[in-house]
Structure 1
């Protein structure tokens, strides 16, 4: 299956009455003509054997590779991502996480939230969940 070619994703990023978004996200997107929604579980920076990448950069690369594989299994790509939540083990990871997201999405902005949380395993540095529409 391929993404619905008629899908419209319309950014809503008001500047009046609400604080300004930054260049790497928008306040909201409206999805029109979608026939399918895909809700992806939190995805970690683990390789195929379940081992965590040794660094934050390695884990971010693995997260996005894993997300691409999961999306592909549903006939979707990162172009179908309409919402994203990142769970970071440390607030200092926010900048690298945002940069990886912008690269992975090709500069396309989506509503996003980053939360600093304790992960279930000490070597898991980042977890990302997405919602995709097609």
Structure 2
């Protein structure tokens, strides 16, 4: 499998350093589609703070990836659902920390979550 970043240099606005416009995945053997993954602990409870929920959500993402024999290097798309626009920077920092130097297509959306204590939810696609 080959992953090719597609960031046109002309005719479109420039991608910022934390994401790419598109990722072409050539000949993947498997695709893994995540449900919205919450920042919940092992007991299914949401920690009180955003930082703790971001730690949990990325831990949960890594665990699901591991179940499929994959890692964060297999992620090709992440959509973040944030309860408040004020969470954008912390969410971005957590994503950049989780992905290291890799940049992938990503979108952040501000939503009203099903439970008031749920501050962040991630939806992802991985390829292997």
Range into which the TM-score falls when normalised by the shorter chain: over 0.9
After TM superposition, the score normalised by the length of structure 1 is: 0.94
Question: How many Å apart are 1:83 and its aligned residue?
Answer: 0.5
Among residues 29, 37, 51, which one is paired with 2:45 in the alignment?
Answer: 51
Is 1:84 the counterpart of 2:78? The answer is yes
Question: 1:46, 1:132 → 2: CA distance?
Answer: 21
Matching residue of 2:33: 39
The number of equivalent residue pairs is 128
Matching residue of 1:127: 121
Question: 1:129, 1:28 → 2: CA distance?
Answer: 16
Question: How many Å apart are 1:14 and its aligned residue?
Answer: 1.1
Matching residue of 1:60: 54
Is 1:30 the counterpart of 2:24? The answer is yes
Question: 2:9, 2:90 → 1: CA distance?
Answer: 26
Matching residue of 1:71: 65
Is 1:13 the counterpart of 2:7? The answer is yes
Deviant stretches of 4+, over 3 Å = none
Question: 1:107, 1:90 → 2: CA distance?
Answer: 26
Is 1:103 the counterpart of 2:103? The answer is no
Question: How many Å apart are 1:33 and its aligned residue?
Answer: 2.2
Question: 2:47, 2:98 → 1: CA distance?
Answer: 18
- Structure 2 spans left out of the alignment, 5+ residues: none
Question: How many Å apart are 1:96 and its aligned residue?
Answer: 0.6
Question: How many Å apart are 1:105 and its aligned residue?
Answer: 0.7
